[in-house]
Amino acid sequence: MKRLLAVLLCCALLISCMSVAAADEKKTLTVWIPQYQFTGGIPDQEFWDGVFDPFEEENNCEVKVEILPWSDYNTTVYTGLLNNDGPDVVYVTDNYDLVTNGLLLGLDGYLTDAEKDNYLLWSTGPVDANGEHVIVPMDDGVAMGFYNKDILAEAGIDTFPEEWDAFIEACKTIPEKTGKQGFLQNWGATTGTSALMLAFWPYYFQAGGVMLDENGQIAINNEAGLKTLEFLKKFYDEGIFDETIVSESESIEKFAAGELAFVVADLNKGKTFTNNGVNWEYFFSLKGPAGYGARTATDSFAVAAKAKERGNDELAVKALVLITSGAVMDRFHSEVFYLPPFTKDSSYTQNEAYTTLTGAHTADIYVVSEFEGKASFEKELQANIQMMFMGDLTPQEVLDNTMAYYTDQIKQ
C-alpha cells in the first residue's frame, strides 16, 4: 500500500510539473517587415525589437522580427506564406496572389468594430472567398517630383515646365546652359515594380490610361500606353537619358549632390536634399495629354492563414493591432521612415507643403491596381522598355510583346 501511495504521489507531482511547464511554455511569433531605414537613423531591427519588448513580457511570448530586403520581396513573402515555418505577421506589397490563394487570415472576426473604424482605408482592402477583409491598408504616400530651383534659375527657366513637351525642352536646355543634367529615372531598379512605380505608371495616368479593363484584367496596349512609351523614348532620343540606365539610387544621389535638375522620388527624400543644401521645391506631377497624374499605393500588414494552424492566430492579430496602432506608427514615421497617417489615432505629420499640394490634386492621385501575376508582368515590361531605350524595340512592340507574354505565360 505504501509503495502504491508513493507511486501515485510521484505521478501527481510529475503531472503537476508538466502542467506548470506547459503553462510557462512560450509561443514564438515571427514577423516579416522590409527594410525602411537607409539614412543612418535607428536601424529597423532595433526599432521593432524595442516595440515588441513589452509585448513579449505582457504575453509571455517571443517575437522574432526579421527585416527583409526589398529585392524580390513579393516572391519571398509568397513562398514564406506557403511554408509551415513562414511568418505569422507580414508586411504585404502585392496582395492579389496571396488573397486569391487563401494565404492570408480573415480579420473581421478577430478585430473589434472600433479597431476596424480606426483604419482610414479599411473598406478599400481586398476580401477573401469568405468575404472577410484580410489586410490593414496603409497609405504609402504620393510619389512626388522635386526640382532644383537654383539650377532652373541658372538655366533661365522662370516657371516650372509641367507640360510634357516643355519638360523635354527644359531637360535639353539645362545641360546646355549649366553643364548639369536635366532628369533621370530609376530604370535600373532591382525590380520592375520599383521602376514602374516612379517611371511608368505616373506618365500612363497623365496620358489618360486605366490599368484594368471591365473584367479586372491588366490592359495597357492602348492609345495611352503608346503615348506613354513614345514620351519615354523621347528622353533617350533627345539625349536626356543615356546608355547607363540608372540604378534605383543613382538619380537620388545626383539630385542630392546638386547635379540634377529634376527627380521623382518618395517624399522622404526631401529631408536628405535639404540636409545636402539643395534649394528644392515639390512639383505634383507633369501634365500629360489627359492632365496631371501621380501614383500612390497601399502596402499593408496582414496575418498568415497558417498562423491559425500553429495556434498563433489570436496572438498574431494582437501583434498586428500593435504594429498598426497610431502610437507605434507615429514613432515609426518620425524615427525610421515617414508615410502619411493611415489610422484615426495617428497624430504625426511631417510636411505641410506636401499636404497642401496633394490636397489640391486629390482627383489626380491614382492607385496602382493589383492584378494576377503583377510582379512578373512589371518585370517583363521593365525589360522591354529597357530594350526600347537600346533601340531593339519600338514603343508599339513593347506593348505587343509585354501583353503577349502576359497572355501566353502568366495567364496560362
Q: Which of 115-129, 318-332, 344-358 has the lowest mean pLDDT?
A: 344-358
What is the arithmetic mean of pLDDT over 104-124?
95
Q: Does 25-140+298-354 match 144-296+373-410 in CATH topology?
A: yes
Question: For the segment 264-312, what is each residue's pLDDT rounded down to a tens digit?
Answer: 988 778 888 999 999 999 999 999 999 999 998 889 999 999 999 999 9
* Residue 115, pLDDT score: 97
Whether pLDDT at 394 is above 90 = yes
Whether pLDDT at 167 is above 90 = yes
How far apart CA 72 and CA 58 sit, in angstroms, is: 35
* Residue 3, pLDDT score: 55
How far apart CA 126 and CA 99 sit, in angstroms, is: 8
* Percent of the chain clearing pLDDT 70 (strictly above): 94
Q: Which of 90-99, 243-252, 369-378 has the lowest mean pLDDT?
A: 243-252
Question: For the segment 47-99, what is each residue's pLDDT rounded down to a tens digit?
Answer: 999 999 999 999 999 999 999 999 889 889 999 999 989 999 999 998 999 99
Q: Which residues of 109-120 are buried (b: 16+ CB within 10 A; e: fewer)?
A: ebbeeebeebbb
CATH topology of domain 25-140+298-354: D-Maltodextrin-Binding Protein; domain 2 (3.40.190)
Domain coordinates of the chain in residue numbers? Answer: 25-140+298-354, 144-296+373-410
Domain 144-296+373-410 has CATH 3.50.50.100: no
- Please work out, in degrees rounded to the nearest 5, the angle formed at the alpha carbon of residue 267 by the alpha carbons of 264 and 272: 90
The larger pLDDT score, comparing residue 91 to residue 248, is at: 91
Measured over the CA atoms of residue 148, residue 262, residue 171 and residue 163, the dihedral's sign is: negative
How high does pLDDT run on average in the chain?
91
The larger pLDDT score, comparing residue 357 to residue 29, is at: 29
* Residue 39, pLDDT score: 77
Q: How many CA atoms lie within 13 A of 317 on its CB side?
A: 20
Whether pLDDT at 18 is above 60 = no
* Residue 22, pLDDT score: 44
Whether pLDDT at 168 is above 50 = yes
